[in-house]
Amino acid sequence: RKWKKISTLCSKLKIPTNPEANIDLLLFTLDWRGTPYCYGGNSKKCTDCSGYTSNAYKLVYEKDIPRVSRDIFFNAMPIRKYALYQGDLVFFATAGGTRITHVGIYLWDGYFAHASSSQGVTVSNLRQGYYMKTFISGGAWIE
């Protein structure tokens, strides 16, 4: 029964099925998918990347994380790309250089959920050229 629910949610999100999936993370991602992007926003009316990520952490993991991607980055334990696990954070320098300007939540198989400035809340893949080029680090939130 759980497998069927996970399979359905993964199909709706267009990601590979993972028997170890956190159903709450999938439901949250599906619920927020399509939420329009707005800088400084953190609601389902409109959100930015850290607004989406901090809401997910609060509702899925019951953890309060900072509201700004750089602050999240500086307070997270660094994780290499190959060691990422679902629920880990992924950080990007989308303005060039190494300054963190974007954050998302890792799902699996390279997929991550985030609020994209062009698409709103969506699922992308670290193997896509843009994200491959701008990826800085993964991170784990340890309290």
Helices 23-32 and 49-61: crossing angle, nearest 10°?
A: 140
Identified catalytic residue from 10, 38, 46, 102: 102
Using DSSP's 3-state secondary structure scheme, residue 17 falls into: coil
Nearest of 14, 8, 91, 110 to residue 53 by alpha carbon: 91
Is 38 one of the catalytic residues? no
Is 49 one of the catalytic residues? yes
Is 10 one of the catalytic residues? no
**Catalytic residue set:** 49, 102, 114
